[in-house]
């Protein structure tokens, strides 16, 4: 276990960080070296689901990870994850977060289909990114109807503002900006600034 912190003498002065890393390994999480996990990571993995966390990941507060079915969660290197974020994967989906992504406080990332976030992207707080929808027929209670699923892709170097909702089947291109409080229902081209309910393109980013 100590090889996770080779060269980091200061970690040994923070037993909570060392213990949290040990608990993650015991729960079946693949954890890269030099990660600083001071918060409590609540991990619930069922069936054949799995989690891989890269190197130098920073988790200062409590977060939650849930896996079902054959779902996989892959978190890249140098990622920071703020308070009470939740990662959920199910079916045969992969939730993949690129290197140097910042995940905001209370962000919910629900991958019932593939959900990809490119490197260097910033996610504001209180996001909900969900790859699922529910049936709405009147003759069956909605909670009993089957969901429909579609992938979501958020590109590299994006800035997604606080309290944004991203719905299934959407692609947000590289370098895009989405204003706070927006609901993204359609694709946003790369290097565009979009906002609104539903979100629409306002202009292109200046070169």
Residue 190, phi then psi, degrees to nearest 5: -65, 145
pLDDT at 23: 85
More confident residue, 184 or 207: 184
| Domain spans, the chain | 2-204
pLDDT higher than threshold 70 for residue 39:
yes
Range name among 1-10, 69-78, 191-200 with the lowest pLDDT average: 1-10
Mean pLDDT score of the chain: 92
Other C-beta atoms within 10 Å of 207: how many?
4
Strand-pair partners of 141: none
* Total-model pTM: 0.90
* 104, 160 Cβ separation under 8 angstroms: no
d(CA 98, CA 158): 12
Other C-beta atoms within 10 Å of 114: how many?
20
Q: Which helix (H) or strand (E) holds 172?
A: strand 171-172
pLDDT higher than threshold 90 for residue 9:
no
Q: What is the pLDDT of residues 114-146, one digit of tens each?
A: 999 999 999 999 999 999 998 899 999 998 998
**N-term to C-term CA, the chain:** 47
Choosing from 14, 88, 128, 134, the catalytic residue is: 134
Burial environment of residue 134 by CB neighbours within 10 A (0 to 12, 13 to 18, 19 or more): exposed
pLDDT higher than threshold 60 for residue 10:
no
* 194, 179 Cβ separation under 8 angstroms: yes
pLDDT at 5: 47
pLDDT higher than threshold 70 for residue 7:
no
Say whether 88 is catalytic.
no
pLDDT at 27: 85
More confident residue, 118 or 15: 118
Residue located via tokens 């045969």? 92
Architecture of domain 2-204: 3 Solenoid (2.160)
pLDDT higher than threshold 50 for residue 8:
no
Q: What is the pLDDT of residues 158-193, one digit of tens each?
A: 999 999 999 999 999 999 999 999 999 999 999 999
């Amino acid at each position: 276990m100590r090889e996770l912190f080779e060269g980091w003498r200061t970690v040994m002065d923070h037993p909570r960080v060392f213990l949290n890393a040990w608990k993650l390994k015991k729960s079946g999480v693949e954890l890269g070296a030099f990660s600083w996990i001071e918060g409590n990571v609540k991990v619930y993995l069922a069936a054949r689901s799995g989690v891989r966390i890269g190197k130098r990941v920073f988790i200062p507060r409590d977060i939650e990870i849930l896996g079902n079915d054959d779902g996989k969660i892959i978190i890249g290197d140098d990622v920071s994850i703020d308070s009470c974020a939740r990662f959920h994967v199910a079916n045969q989906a992969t939730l993949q977060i690129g290197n140097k992504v910042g995940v905001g406080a209370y962000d919910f990332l629900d991958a019932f289909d593939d959900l990809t976030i490119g490197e260097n992207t910033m996610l504001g707080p209180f996001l909900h990114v969900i790859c699922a929808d529910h049936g709405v027929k009147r003759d069956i209670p909605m909670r009993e109807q089957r969901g429909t699923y579609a992938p979501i892709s958020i590109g590299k170097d994006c800035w997604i503002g606080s309290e944004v909702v991203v719905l299934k089947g959407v692609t947000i291109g590289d370098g895009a900006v989405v204003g706070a409080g927006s609901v993204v229902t359609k694709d946003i081209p790369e290097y565009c600034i979009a906002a609104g309910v539903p979100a629409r393109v306002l202009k292109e980013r200046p070169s």
